[in-house]
Amino acid sequence: MSIGSQTSSLAIELRGVHKRYDERAERAVFSALDLVIPRGSFTVLVGPSGCGKSTLLRMIAGLEAVSAGELLFDGVRVNDKPPVARGVAMVFQNYALYGHMSVYDNIGFGLRIAGVPKAERHAAIVDAARQLDLEALLQRKPSMLSGGQRQRVAIGRAIVRRPRAFLFDEPLSNLDASLRGSLRAEIAQLHQRLRTTTVYVTHDQVEAMTLADQIVVLSPQGLEQVGTPDALYDTPGNVFVAGFIGGQRMNLLPVDAMHDAALRALGAGQAAQLALQGVAHVGVRPEDIDLVAGDAARIERIERLGADSLVHLQAGGARFTALSADRQLAPGDLVGVAARRQHHFDGTGRRTPRPAP
């Protein structure tokens, strides 16, 4: 792909996609998956290990075959096209840099294969290096670089080809926490600047929430929900999404006798009444629980998180957590609890609308 061509972003669609690693395998990785990745969007595929998010990304890249169904780029079927013909570039978790080549040659390798003239290639490499603050490192080998620098070289190798879509496969997983934050910001800025369709895989829901225009939540059972970060946070479609998305894990209280006291303390109502309404679980985020004066629950222990603390509570045999900024709380204290927002889920785990009061 020569530089300067195919620079427009693309829209990606998966229609009825099936993926099975082996024809005799019992479980398919995906069955009848339908997904639209809008042009220019930053779509994050998030889910626990083994849910198939990397497999999905690799199918888009052309590194994995689609067992059945259609993969469309701007409405054109690309199932049988090799990776280089799809106009996409990929950044790998472990950088995948060519260790015997300098940073300059790593970034320019794809252009060299494509037959881009030397002068044009040099200009593109220098431009990519300048965008990623790599100019002083162009003659170094990957072994002389830090983890963050290596990942920026990998990103440079991707952007220099001016692809129509970027594919990131957990690019920050191998970096320490401080580097992760700064590189995450750089990736966000890159997207703001280039507005190229980006598909980003991560198991970290914080990365998903901070980077995404659209989040695709995957589980071992398949696609759970697609939506904006706010939509997934405010209205999770099922217990899996509810438990996965959010800074602290959502309290999911089963509607039964053991949790009746906790449900009433939180203002959710009696367990028997909720059960009649078809509610099987009540979800309350720790940050949506206010701790007030009272004796509805006992504090079991407190985890200091800095400005806030995660307070582990017990009410009538049920355990749940609340996020509080109160530094005066101590284990053993009795407190009242009030939930500002609740989520109801039925017996199949799906979200049910809360009945009018």
Partner 1 sequence: MSAAACPENRPAGAAPSANMRAFAMRLLLAAALVLAGLVFAYPLLFMFAASFKPADAIFADIANPLALLPDARWSLVNYRNVFDKSAVGSYLLNSTTIALVTIVAGVFVNSALAFAIAKLQWRGRHGVLALVLALLIVPLEVLAIPMMLVVAHLPWFDAARGVFVVGWLDTLHVQIVPFVANAFCVFLFHQAFKDLPDELIEAARMDGAGAMTIYLRIVLPLCKPTVATAAIVIFLAMWNQYLWPVMTVQTGGARPVMVGLQQFFGRTNQWGEIMAYATLITLPVLAFFLVIQKHFVRSVVGSGIKG
Structure tokens at 23: 């024809």
**110 forms part of the interface with partner 1 (CB under 8 A):** yes
Residue 41: partners with Cβ closer than 8 Å, 6 or more residues away: 197, 198, 213, 214
**63 forms part of the interface with partner 1 (CB under 8 A):** yes
Q: Rounded to the nearest whole angstrom, what is the least distance from the CB of residue 154 to partner 1 in the complex?
A: 8
CA pair distance 179, 185, nearest whole angstrom: 10
- To 5 degrees, how large is the angle CA 53–CA 57–CA 63? 125
Question: How many C-beta neighbours within 10 Å does residue 19 have?
Answer: 21
**114 forms part of the interface with partner 1 (CB under 8 A):** yes
Q: Rounded to the nearest whole angstrom, what is the least distance from the CB of residue 294 to partner 1 in the complex?
A: 55
Q: Rounded to the nearest whole angstrom, what is the least distance from the CB of residue 65 to partner 1 in the complex?
A: 11
Burial classification of residue 263, based on how many CB atoms lie within 10 Å of its CB (0-12 exposed, 13-18 middle, 19 or more buried): buried
Q: Rounded to the nearest whole angstrom, what is the least distance from the CB of residue 109 to partner 1 in the complex?
A: 5
Applying CB under 8 A, the span of 87-95, 244-252, 265-273, 320-328 interacting with partner 1 comes to 87-95
* Straight-line distance from the first to the last Cα atom of the chain, in angstroms, rounded to the nearest whole number: 61
Q: Rounded to the nearest whole angstrom, what is the least distance from the CB of residue 282 to partner 1 in the complex?
A: 44
Residue 57: partners with Cβ closer than 8 Å, 6 or more residues away: 45, 90, 167, 169, 199, 201
At position 246, the amino acid (one-letter code) is G
**83 forms part of the interface with partner 1 (CB under 8 A):** yes
Candidate residues 48, 50, 100, 176; the one interacting with partner 1 per rule CB under 8 A: 100
Q: Rounded to the nearest whole angstrom, what is the least distance from the CB of residue 156 to partner 1 in the complex?
A: 13
DSSP per-residue letters across 77-113: E-TTS-GGGGTEEEE-TT----TTS-HHHHHHHHHHH
**21 forms part of the interface with partner 1 (CB under 8 A):** no
Candidate residues 113, 123, 144, 185; the one interacting with partner 1 per rule CB under 8 A: 113
Q: Is the CB of 152 or the CB of 157 nearer to partner 1?
A: 157
Q: Rounded to the nearest whole angstrom, what is the least distance from the CB of residue 227 to partner 1 in the complex?
A: 29
Structure tokens at 80: 């049988």
Applying CB under 8 A, the span of 37-45, 108-116, 120-128, 137-145 interacting with partner 1 comes to 108-116
**82 forms part of the interface with partner 1 (CB under 8 A):** yes
CA pair distance 258, 318, nearest whole angstrom: 6
| Binding pattern for the stretch 141-170 against partner 1, x by CB under 8 A and - elsewhere | ----------------x---x---------
Type and span of the H or E element at 352: strand 351-352
**1 forms part of the interface with partner 1 (CB under 8 A):** yes
Candidate residues 10, 35, 59, 89; the one interacting with partner 1 per rule CB under 8 A: 89
Tell me which residue of 53, 64, 71 sits closest to 12, measured CA to CA.
Answer: 71
β pairing state of 281-284 and 42-46: unpaired
CA pair distance 213, 122, nearest whole angstrom: 34
**92 forms part of the interface with partner 1 (CB under 8 A):** yes
Binding site for partner 1 (CB under 8 A): 1, 61, 63, 82-84, 88-90, 92-94, 96-100, 109-110, 113-114, 157, 161
